[in-house]
Amino acid sequence: MARDYLSDNFSYVSPVNSFDNPESYLKYFERQYQIRGLTKLDFKKVFTEEKDVCILQEYDSQIMCFWIKVDDNEKINSIRAILDPRPFMQPK
């Protein structure tokens, strides 16, 4: 289902890791949600401008920023994450 929203040319870049295809990205984040016990996303603010979306999200008292670019087919083409990577480098 989530795959339906991602472009075939999808890319993800963060200080922790990067992916150049949607399948690797989804597999990684599915595992992270299981390990960390995430059940919902706590969006604090969403900004949009044409085909750009900026999401401010809170996780473990940390604010993260995601810059999402949408392609002409209304699918997510790329996500760039800005966050402090230290909490993600430590095992839960």
For the domain that residue 35 is a member of, what is the CATH number? 3.10.450.50
pLDDT at 62 over 60: yes
Within-domain flag for 92: no
- What order of strands is seen across the sheet that includes strand 42-49? 18-19, 6-13, 76-82, 62-70, 52-59, 42-49
Please state the pTM of the whole predicted model.
Answer: 0.86
The tally of domains found in the chain comes to 1
User: For 64-92, what is each residue's pLDDT tens digit?
Assistant: 999 999 999 999 999 999 999 887 776 65
Residue 91 lies in a domain: no
As a whole number, mean pLDDT of residues 3-17 equals 95
Identify whether 43 is part of a domain.
yes
Report if residue 89 sits inside a domain: no
Residue 56 is part of which domain span?
A: 2-84
